[in-house]
């Protein structure tokens, strides 16, 4: 069979309804990692759904206990045809955010696949069950087209805790580095730039979450009897929080701003139109760093967002000075940001503004990562996808959001290529999460083409990287 046959088989998997049957079965598993009552469902999905699917395609499985983190196990798998062949590591996560039953339109259940036009609704359809179902379906189609021999070795790692920060993933990568050793990381998560634009992204912005707290230790007191003589923590904290970001969205803490956008990154995002799909939110005119395009703000700059503010009860207010006020922020940052010294930068800024009593605490972080956009694997992937789709491919220097890419790029030293099968308005993490059928069908063919081309060209690309002095991941210099 030929490359075109592999693409045709991938499309047939979609057109026949088999893809939706597999996805419906997976969506029906309520794998909420934020819900402690779902521990058994998380383990069952990993073993019975993913494990059996991989075993049927000839993978050797290894379960990694995650007991130290108190979380579900991880699943490692490998399919070795010849040790001399290039090796590709793939990834997926089977956990989802809370289903939010009762908040979906038209009384939809988050655990039942439903269709409306091109939209396919269900929790996990976009993040990440639909995406790894596309990749598994493309793999099965390519294996069939190549008579069971891919011409490349495949390894996989599946986790069930991504939605709570991927506890244990980094340790699994470092502790099983030999099992996972590869030449390329290829996976799918996050959204395309737009529904109709095949996309590759090369890493992710980092994330840093912190909390400002002001507690005068007075408790709550009647606003009429004590107003004007007791410090109001909500008022003070509101001023402290506002000092971090201007009224038009510009970061005011010098140490949290990134280095200037490089010419190469600016070139990559120069033709990107953010918010162009039907249903996308309206962009705010004049919001964010001046002198940058929306695409540069989203993919090449830092953002500092206040995601929660709490003082009293806005739903049922009472006439009292609140006892305590808290604000939670998230910094999304690009490579080159001095994020590891964020505490010093923030403390210095707050103290300079007179907010010495505001407490600062940190609640989690992930570093920013980015593969060199001129890496030979990037050219390979974009050429393959253009051949399969007949469309230009958008190359994002990094995802605007944050994924655990550092586990693969830093811990395993791999060049990372992400091919997302979702789109920005998929309602990910919200009620009415959905996958677009048109994107899923195209994604199946894109991945089948990539897997076919890896078997044909993977060794040549690996040698090209070596000739250009780029270290082979997982191997000594």
Residue 144: is it exposed, middle or buried by C-beta count within 10 angstroms (0-12/13-18/19+)? middle
Question: What is the distance in angstroms between the CA of the first residue and the CA of the last residue of the chain?
Answer: 39
Task: With H, G, I as helix, E, B as strand and everything else as coil, classify residue 214.
Answer: strand
Per-residue burial over 457-469, b = 16 or more CB atoms within 10 Å of its CB, e = otherwise: bbbebbebbeeee
- Considering the entire predicted model, what is its pTM? 0.91
- Report which secondary-structure segment, H or E, holds 442: helix 437-467
- Render 40-90 in DSSP notation, one character per residue: HHHHHIIIIIIIHHHHTTT-EEEEE--GGGTS--EEEEEE-S-TTS-EEEE
- CATH of 3-204+368-467, picked from 3.40.50.970, 3.40.630.10, 3.20.20.140, 3.40.800.20, is 3.40.630.10
Nearest C-alpha neighbor of 123 from the set 401, 428, 424: 428
Asked: is 208-269+287-366 a CATH 3.40.50.2020 domain? The reply is no
Question: Tell me, what's the pLDDT at 472?
Answer: 43
pLDDT in tens, the chain (477 residues): 999 999 999 999 999 999 999 999 999 999 999 999 999 999 999 999 999 999 999 999 999 998 777 889 999 999 999 999 999 999 999 999 999 999 999 999 999 999 999 999 999 999 999 999 999 999 999 999 999 999 999 999 999 999 999 999 999 999 999 999 999 999 999 999 999 999 999 999 999 999 999 999 999 999 999 999 999 999 999 999 999 999 999 999 999 999 999 999 999 999 888 888 888 889 999 999 999 999 999 999 999 999 999 999 999 999 999 999 999 999 999 999 999 999 999 999 999 999 999 999 999 899 999 999 999 999 999 999 999 999 999 999 999 999 999 999 999 999 999 999 999 999 999 999 999 999 999 999 999 999 999 999 999 999 999 887 665 443 332
CB atoms within 10 A of CB 310: 15
Cβ atoms of 330 and 346 within 8 Å: the answer is: no
* Domain residue ranges in the chain: 3-204+368-467, 208-269+287-366
In order of 143, 195, 441, the CA distances from 56 in angstroms are 11, 32, 23
Question: Tell me, what's the pLDDT at 469?
Answer: 66
Cβ atoms of 53 and 61 within 8 Å: the answer is: no
- The sign of the CA dihedral 105, 109, 110, 116 is negative
Furthest C-alpha separation in the chain: 84
263: which 2 tokens?
A: 């010419």
Question: Tell me, what's the pLDDT at 48?
Answer: 94
């Amino acid at each position: 069979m030929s490359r075109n046959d592999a693409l045709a088989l991938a499309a047939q998997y979609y057109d026949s309804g088999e893809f939706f049957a597999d996805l419906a079965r997976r969506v029906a598993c309520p794998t909420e990692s934020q819900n402690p009552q779902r521990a058994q469902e998380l383990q069952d999905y990993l073993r019975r759904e993913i494990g059996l699917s991989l075993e049927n395609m000839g993978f050797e499985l290894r379960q990694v206990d995650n007991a130290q983190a108190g979380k579900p196990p991880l699943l490692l798998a490998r399919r070795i045809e010849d040790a001399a062949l290039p090796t590709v590591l793939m990834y997926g996560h089977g956990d989802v955010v809370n289903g939010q039953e009762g908040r979906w339109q038209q009384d939809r259940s988050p655990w039942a696949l439903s269709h409306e036009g091109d939209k396919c609704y269900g929790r996990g359809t976009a993040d990440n069950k639909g995406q790894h179902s596309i990749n598994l379906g493309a793999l099965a189609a390519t294996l069939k087209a190549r008579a069971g021999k891919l011409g490349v070795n495949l390894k996989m790692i599946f986790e069930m805790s991504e939605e709570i920060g991927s506890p244990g993933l980094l340790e699994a990568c470092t502790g099983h580095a030999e099992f996972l050793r590869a030449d390329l990381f290829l996976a799918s998560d996050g959204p395309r730039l737009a529904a109709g634009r095949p996309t590759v992204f090369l890493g992710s912005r980092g994330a840093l979450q912190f909390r400002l707290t002001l507690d005068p230790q007075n408790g709550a007191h009647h606003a009429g009897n004590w107003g004007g003589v007791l410090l109001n923590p909500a008022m003070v904290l509101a001023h402290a929080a506002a000092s971090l970001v201007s009224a038009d969205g510009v970061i005011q803490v010098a140490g949290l701003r990134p280095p200037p956008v490089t010419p190469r990154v600016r070139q990559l995002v120069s033709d990107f139109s953010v918010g162009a799909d039907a249903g996308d939110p309206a962009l705010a005119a004049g919001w964010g760093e001046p002198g940058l395009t929306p695409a540069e703000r989203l993919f090449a700059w830092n953002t500092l967002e206040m995601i929660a503010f709490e003082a009293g009860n806005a739903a049922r207010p009472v006439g009292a000075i609140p006892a305590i006020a808290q604000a939670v922020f998230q910094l999304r940052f690009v490579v080159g940001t001095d994020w590891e010294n964020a505490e010093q930068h923030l403390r210095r800024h707050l103290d300079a503004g007179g907010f010495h009593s505001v407490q600062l605490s940190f609640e989690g972080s992930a570093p920013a990562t980015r593969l060199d956009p001129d890496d030979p694997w990037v050219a390979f992937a974009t050429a393959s996808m253009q051949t399969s789709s007949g469309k230009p491919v958008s190359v994002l220097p990094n995802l605007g959001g944050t994924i655990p890419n550092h586990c693969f790029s830093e811990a395993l030293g791999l060049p990372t290529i992400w091919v997302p099968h979702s789109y920005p308005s998929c309602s990910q993490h919200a009620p009415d999460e959905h996958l677009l059928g048109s994107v899923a069908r195209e994604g199946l063919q894109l991945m089948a083409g990539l897997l076919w081309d890896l078997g044909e060209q993977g060794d040549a690309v690996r040698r090209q990287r070596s000739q250009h002095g780029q270290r082979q991941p997982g191997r000594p210099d």
